[in-house]
Structure 1
Amino acid sequence: KLIKINKLPKNIWELIAAGEVVERPASVVKELLENSIDAGATAITLEIQNGGIRYIRITDNGCGIQREDVPLAFLSHATSKISTASDLDAIGTLGFRGEALASVAAVSKVEIMTKTAEEQLGTRMVIHGGETVSLDDAGCPNGTTIIIRELFYNTPARMKFLKSDKSEGMAVAGIVDKIAISHPEISLRFIKDGKEVTCTNGSGSVKDAVFAVYGRDFADTLINADYEINGVKVEGFISKPFNSRGSGSMQLFFVNDRFIKSKTAVAALNEAYKNSIMVGRYPACVLFLTLSPELVDVNVHPAKTEVRFSNEKAIFDAVYYAAKNALSNDNSRPQVKLESGAVKTNTNLNSNILSAPVPEAQQRSFSDYTLPEREKILDSFNNPYVNKNSGQSESTDYIFNEPKADYAVNDGDIDLSVKTGELNSPAESQPVQPITLKNEENRKEEVSFKYLGEAFKTYIFAEYNGKLVIIDKHAAHERMLFNKLKKNLKNEGSQLLLKPVSVVLSKDEYIAVTENLDIMKNAGFEIDDFGNGTVLVRSCPLDLEKEDITELVSEVASYLASNKKDVLPEKLDWIYHNISCRAAIKAGNIQTDYELIEFTKQLLADDEVRYCPHGRPVLIELTKYELDKQFGRIQ
């Protein structure tokens, strides 16, 4: 059967062409913002409603469009950016295809008002579905205002593929963030559903733009990078090694002020951080690559985020050496910030000691006493119960304000905390790390064993059931905490934080977390949506530090974002793994012998603790027979 070839009518081929450029509201915003930038605007305001599906308005103070050119702007392949084929070899503008306005007008209701500085009156044009409705004079300021209403109103099938208003709005915010950072010389204001989300000052400083978009916490983790090699100049910022992230979503690369996605640049950056950050962690960056337009081809995809370089190795080397050089010049170290009143006094001390008043005269340092007083004190220490004058026994307590650590022991709830006081000697510079374990209701009878000691601040040695038992304290504690989370989290709830912790996420991670708050709650996190890519953590499971909370929430957010179609309650195990790993005592931490004894007692009494959540054994056993064999006692 012969198949006849038909020429498609204009309205159909326009809809097909629009699908290549306009995928969602964020696509529209990207194209229109780039037009404003190419028009020389120094101030741009973007407003959206319902995620940009129902309403988008962009106002700029650029050069505007002349009256006779307004209708041409909405024709396919009509552009002011290029005029000859050779222009494609050196594209210096963000837009050049001449498809954006025509594609947007084909699937929405468009209203544009524009005026140049030379014209007395502006121009207003209304287009519905690619058809001109009106073209009139209008009173308006210099520049252009374009309004998009009811996106995809004439293509219902496309509407089905759009996500929620919140998700689409965050996708728009992601575009705005990248535009704001790539052009810090432009004052960019973003309003979503009547609320201002982003506002940059147009100072020209990239650091100011990063601060306005991602906040102080992220901006403070960055260090300067500046390098040039083989005709490629790299400028911007990279994160400090100890501020790595759980995903690469905060790696931003710009080529000639255009945001791009480049596997070569990503590989170079990650290679530069090799052996500087943990495996599975990723650096963040805001890097600008400047090179001749002839060396990069941006005419690869309608979205213009995928580019080709004529020399990929030059790009790799430039990014690699820029990052490596910045890291070698950075001498910063993680800083510990002590808040006022952060040190807590242990209130579990013996009540007799707490209630006994201390005479004011005895609240002195040993050096404050006179020589006769010192001799008397030393004599009392050598023979504290004999009064040399009367021959009668007496008890004399001298209390000095010397730095020291007091510990409280409470069976069943092991929490040895360092009391108030500064540690002066080098040997005391590393405080004792507490192990916190609460007895289970149905705890088995305590086991009998002999505690032998600890090696390398990592392994506990004990004699148990005729065998030498070697315990990895981190792996064992991690499994015990993991089991506790699995069994008792719903009953015990989570730990309320005295001060909420703010976590800045990428837009995809932010959407993933805010759309899965129920899963986060089941995992013990109470999280509030703070807006603009930031969440507030109000409670968390176990005793996590602020840094651990931030990193853990970022990792969980990255996981949820990468498994959008596979987020089920059973996936909480992965979250529990991370929580227990971070909350567990670490190899190298110092604990007291009593604390390690109680820890071993609980471990040996729990038959369920065999492997850590990652599959590593928590203990190994060595029989007397094996030892005798090693020493040649048994042939």
Structure 2
Amino acid sequence: MRAIKILDTHTINKIAAGEVVERPCSVVKELVENSIDAKASSITVEIKNGGIDLIRVTDNGVGIPKDQVEVAFLRHATSKITSAEDLYEVISLGFRGEALASIAAVSNVELLTKEEQELTGKRIEISGGKMSAAEEVACPNGTTFIMRHLFFNVPARKAFLSSSSSEGAKISDYMYKLALAHPEVSFKYIQNGKTIFTTSGDHELKHAILNIYGKEYARNTLECYYKSDTIECMGLIGKPVLNRGNRNYEHFFINGRYIKSQLLQGAVEDAYKTLVMVGKFPFSVLHLYLDPSLVDVNVHPTKLQVRFKNPDTIYKAVYEGVSHALREAYLVPQVATEPGPKEAKVEPVIEQGIIDTFFAPRKEKEEVTPQSLLKHNPTDFQREDVNPPSISRLFGNRDSHHVSPQSIDTYEKQLSQVFKEEMIHQSTTEPTDEMIHELEKPNKEYGISRFEDVPLPPKIQVEEKPTSPAILPTDYRIVGQVFKTYWLIEYHEKVFIIDQHAAHERVLYEQFMAEFKANEVATQLLLMPETLMVTPVEMTLLNEHEELFKKLGFQFEAFGENAVAIREVPFILNEPLSPAVFKEVLDRLTHDKLQDIAELKAEAIIRMSCRSAIKAHDQISDRECRKLIELLLALDNPFTCPHGRPTLVALTQVDIEKMFKRI
């Protein structure tokens, strides 16, 4: 056995660098976060060959004092904290004092820095952790950090890097997140000599989204805001049409720091339940500000994972903020037109004046508007030397500037030298020779009682004074039914196309959900009890969670030592729920997935409402259709069925006239 000995400093630094510098993206992250901590308002990042050959970060921050430049490259040297107690109040993005030493240990580094009050700055060079040059030079205010030949002295680490294009893509993705995290900072990102994007640093989060994701995303976002005594949540969320097949477009920031959090993802996705299809995920850029003592960012060297002291409070803030923004929005998709394609493309509504009128407000309620946002003061928890977050930090000065669709167009033109203006593509539907006739004859199987027997759910009963004499406009015209599935409704200069199955399914779903929340779930006694074999562990779980099963509508009793007899099941929408659902709930409990019980309940309700609703190809009368519209539009969310499919879409008169080349 070899003798135990202490490693030299050079070897220690190379080993420790592996925790901080995993790949070129890690270098960019550490350097840009240092620039932000240095109060830079303008940051330029340039990379070559995926950041393996070159990474250059230039900022206009406060710079490093000349007598502290060498100290900055020593391990655990930092200006962010002075004791362990400071970790509970840390607001800066960096605080470990490991980044510069780790980067310099595995690459060739050149640093130029100058403070504003100094006449000259300082330049140093470090290669593989060893300083090779140090001198005073003339240079601009701020700091320029140049890294070349990453892992040149650690070939084993370099061999495990991905291709240069893949490494460059990781850097690009993180630069997007940094730009969204700090809309008050002007970013310029250059890759292999080509400018990828720039941001203006005008505090407008929507402008940052425009620069990164384009006009469609900037136009179709909703302002989100929630504030309590301990937390402030603000940002922009996408309308349901901006859904993706993965979670890469869900962005979360804690006190200006980008993080990954299953808790926050769950809160956002729960708020979008029944608004997006299963397997689709919403677009969101949410900033949370809270007392640093309530969140632990010292979990991992990358600082991407955090721990919350009160996770339930965090969940509620995000869920309530997103839910409120979605409730206050009008989410009717619009069928746009363009020459060429045969299939109609559903595009989000941009101009909503007519839709706003059609979906008239039902009662007085507090709304979050740009003006009301100004009334909220950000949570006061920062130290005196740190500027607190504010609405203007993300949304600019609302008194003097509001981001409207027109201002987005103007802003985009000003940035035309950076990226090409996107064209709004539209699709067309080929005209048909078939005529749409009035369908007056009622269907015997689905008479008007099919809708009249469905009362308004308790939660949507109008108890407060309406803002207008009529809850719904009365001057819309039912044109008729097409394909025995869709209803055409004319209102002013638009035609609304309603899917009768999706609309009825939403009405029935809301009805039972209201009954469930009010603990008024109807049950049905089984003529022959259903016997289910269980294990001793499952029997224990059933006894512990008997109240949960009762709330869901199940009544059971022990039937011997290894079986239970299910005597009552939920009676949902005139149909008993299958006892098999009882087993599904028990399986979830067995695998410690209690958080999925609510989801399981929702899935069961969705399934039953889908079965009970009128189907495609069921012909119903105009009177039945009018009743269905009244029930649908009385809901908080009339825009989608429980599966996330739209219940109605809009087609404007202008769209139709474009089809026939009138304009």
TM bucket, shorter chain: 0.5 to 0.7
Find the residue that maps to 2:132 and give its secondary structure.
Answer: strand
Q: 1:431 to 1:207 in 2, by over 3 A?
A: farther
Give the aligned residue type for 2:54. Y
What is the aligned partner in structure 2 of residue 30 from structure 1? 29
Tell me how far apart the structure 2 counterparts of residues 25 and 424 of structure 1 sit (CA, whole Å).
65
Tell me how far apart the structure 2 counterparts of residues 282 and 431 of structure 1 sit (CA, whole Å).
31
Give the aligned residue type for 2:294. L
Once the two structures are TM-superposed, the CA of residue 249 in structure 1 deviates from its matched residue by 1.3
Give the aligned residue type for 2:264. A
Q: 1:20 to 1:422 in 2, by over 3 A?
A: farther
Give the aligned residue type for 1:239. G
Tell me how far apart the structure 2 counterparts of residues 183 and 340 of structure 1 sit (CA, whole Å).
40
The Cα offsets for residues 166-197 of structure 1, whole Å up to 9 and x where unpaired, read as 11001011111111111001110000000000
Once the two structures are TM-superposed, the CA of residue 221 in structure 1 deviates from its matched residue by 2.9
Tell me how far apart the structure 2 counterparts of residues 242 and 57 of structure 1 sit (CA, whole Å).
38
Tell me how far apart the structure 2 counterparts of residues 125 and 317 of structure 1 sit (CA, whole Å).
49
Once the two structures are TM-superposed, the CA of residue 421 in structure 1 deviates from its matched residue by 9.9
Give the aligned residue type for 2:163. S
What is the aligned partner in structure 2 of residue 418 from structure 1? 431
What is the aligned partner in structure 2 of residue 206 from structure 1? 205
Q: 1:424 to 1:28 in 2, by over 3 A?
A: farther
Once the two structures are TM-superposed, the CA of residue 124 in structure 1 deviates from its matched residue by 0.6
Give the aligned residue type for 1:296. V
Once the two structures are TM-superposed, the CA of residue 75 in structure 1 deviates from its matched residue by 0.4
Tell me how far apart the structure 1 counterparts of residues 234 and 434 of structure 2 sit (CA, whole Å).
46
Q: 1:429 to 1:43 in 2, by over 3 A?
A: farther
Find the residue that maps to 2:216 and give its secondary structure.
Answer: helix
Q: For the Cα contact (< 8 Å) 2:342–2:430, is it kept in 1?
A: no
Tell me how far apart the structure 1 counterparts of residues 13 and 329 of structure 2 sit (CA, whole Å).
53
Q: For the Cα contact (< 8 Å) 1:114–1:122, is it kept in 2?
A: yes
What is the aligned partner in structure 1 of residue 298 from structure 2? 299
The Cα offsets for residues 186-211 of structure 1, whole Å up to 9 and x where unpaired, read as 11000000000010011111111111
Find the residue that maps to 1:242 and give its secondary structure.
Answer: coil
The Cα offsets for residues 102-148 of structure 1, whole Å up to 9 and x where unpaired, read as 00000000000111112111111000000000001111110111100
Q: For the Cα contact (< 8 Å) 2:484–2:616, is it kept in 1?
A: no
Q: For the Cα contact (< 8 Å) 2:56–2:145, is it kept in 1?
A: yes
Tell me how far apart the structure 2 counterparts of residues 215 and 334 of structure 1 sit (CA, whole Å).
19
The Cα offsets for residues 379-420 of structure 1, whole Å up to 9 and x where unpaired, read as xxxxxxxxxxxxxxxxxxxxxxxxxxxxxxxxxxxxx96347
Once the two structures are TM-superposed, the CA of residue 311 in structure 1 deviates from its matched residue by 0.7
Q: For the Cα contact (< 8 Å) 1:343–1:420, is it kept in 2?
A: no
The structure with the larger Rg is: 1
Tell me how far apart the structure 1 counterparts of residues 297 and 130 of structure 2 sit (CA, whole Å).
31
Tell me how far apart the structure 2 counterparts of residues 258 and 341 of structure 1 sit (CA, whole Å).
45
Q: 1:343 to 1:103 in 2, by over 3 A?
A: closer
Tell me how far apart the structure 1 counterparts of residues 215 and 484 of structure 2 sit (CA, whole Å).
33
The Cα offsets for residues 421-462 of structure 1, whole Å up to 9 and x where unpaired, read as 9969645564799xxxxxxxxxxxxxxxxxxxxxx999xxxx
What is the aligned partner in structure 2 of residue 180 from structure 1? 179
Q: For the Cα contact (< 8 Å) 1:107–1:153, is it kept in 2?
A: yes
Find the residue that maps to 1:278 and give its secondary structure.
Answer: coil
- Unpaired runs of 5+ residues, structure 1, are 345-415, 434-455, 459-586, 592-635
What is the aligned partner in structure 2 of residue 221 from structure 1? 220
Find the residue that maps to 2:82 and give its secondary structure.
Answer: coil
Q: 1:421 to 1:81 in 2, by over 3 A?
A: farther
Larger mean Cα displacement after TM superposition, 334-343 or 126-135:
334-343
Aligned-pair identity (%) = 45
Q: 1:457 to 1:308 in 2, by over 3 A?
A: closer
Tell me how far apart the structure 1 counterparts of residues 341 and 8 of structure 2 sit (CA, whole Å).
73
Q: For the Cα contact (< 8 Å) 1:457–1:589, is it kept in 2?
A: no
The alignment status of 1:150 with 2:149, answered yes or no, reads yes
Give the aligned residue type for 1:174. D
Q: 1:57 to 1:122 in 2, by over 3 A?
A: same
Find the residue that maps to 2:200 and give its secondary structure.
Answer: coil
Give the aligned residue type for 1:280. G
Highest RCO, 1 vs 2 (Cα 8 Å, sep ≥ 6): 2
Q: For the Cα contact (< 8 Å) 2:14–2:106, is it kept in 1?
A: yes
Q: What is the number of residues matched between the two proteins?
A: 369
Q: Normalised by the size of structure 1, how large is the TM-score?
A: 0.55
Find the residue that maps to 2:241 and give its secondary structure.
Answer: helix
Give the aligned residue type for 2:226. Y
The alignment status of 1:169 with 2:162, answered yes or no, reads no
What is the aligned partner in structure 2 of residue 65 from structure 1? 64
Q: How does 1:512-531 map to 2 (within 5 A)?
A: none
Computed over aligned residues only, the root mean square deviation of the Cα atoms, in angstroms, reads: 2.6
Q: For the Cα contact (< 8 Å) 1:124–1:138, is it kept in 2?
A: yes
- Unpaired runs of 5+ residues, structure 2, are 344-428, 439-477, 486-499, 503-614, 620-663
Q: Normalised by the size of structure 2, how large is the TM-score?
A: 0.53
